[in-house]
Chain A
């Protein structure tokens, strides 16, 4: 198993640009989620999904969109990037009836 994979590893955007952060898992996990990690702060939940076709907002959803068309993939979209979205983004997944989440390697995003 590759586990949870994320692409790209690094990205630099200009204010107003859009992009999609990719996340995939090959563990047949129903639950997938996106977090952002900022210096001195814990991981904060952006969006999550409990299965294909179902998404919901987390703690800090503004400025981000998600979709879940397949069990394996859970992309995160920034429609108009802002400097406040400069952060490290982690995707995570777990079985729906389990509690332990597994994280991807992260995407470091800088918005100029």
Chain B
């Protein structure tokens, strides 16, 4: 069936390095994608989103890249900080009337001192 999945369940990076978290989606009807950050014991927090008419969107220290040809998106975090340690989820939203988010299982990002 259609699903959104993440390539790696865990990612460890050195403080100050850049992080790249990847996500694959399979629903070709998806036209909106969103990244959430979830810290331990808290609810998912919106980071950044992108629509299918864009290839790249930048926020503060974060960039999302969308490759519709291979149905892949990534989240890049510049100069990773200890506070970035969390689980990161991608989710996609299909076009049409039944607009329900489908979530991936998440990637645990650990920032090493």
Q: Please, which residues of chain B bring their CB within 8 A of the CB of A45? A: 100-101
Answer yes or no: B42 CB below 8 A from chain A CBs. yes
Shortest Cβ-Cβ A-B pairs, 9 listed: A42-B103, A103-B43, A43-B103, A103-B44, A42-B105, A105-B43, A99-B32, A106-B43, A42-B104
Size class of the A contact interface (CB-based, 8 Å): 10 to 19
> Is the CB–CB distance between A43 and B44 below 8 Å?
yes
Total interface residues on B, using CB and 8 Å? 22
Q: Please, which residues of chain A bring their CB within 8 A of the CB of B102? A: 42
Chain B: residues with CB nearer than 8 A to chain A?
4, 32, 34, 36, 41-46, 49, 89, 91, 93, 99-106
> Is the CB–CB distance between A103 and B103 below 8 Å?
no
Question: Restricting to A7-47, which residues have a CB under 8 Å from any CB of B?
Answer: 40-45
Answer yes or no: A84 CB below 8 A from chain B CBs. no
Q: How far is the CB of A50 from chain B (nearest CB, A)?
A: 10
Q: Is the interface of A mostly helix, strand, loop or mixed?
A: loop
Taken together as a complex, chains A and B put the C-alpha atoms of A24 and B50 apart, in Å, by 28
Taken together as a complex, chains A and B put the C-alpha atoms of A45 and B99 apart, in Å, by 12
Q: Find the A residue at minimum CB distance from B98.
A: A56
Taken together as a complex, chains A and B put the C-alpha atoms of A58 and B99 apart, in Å, by 11
Q: Please, which residues of chain A bring their CB within 8 A of the CB of B43? A: 4, 90, 103-106
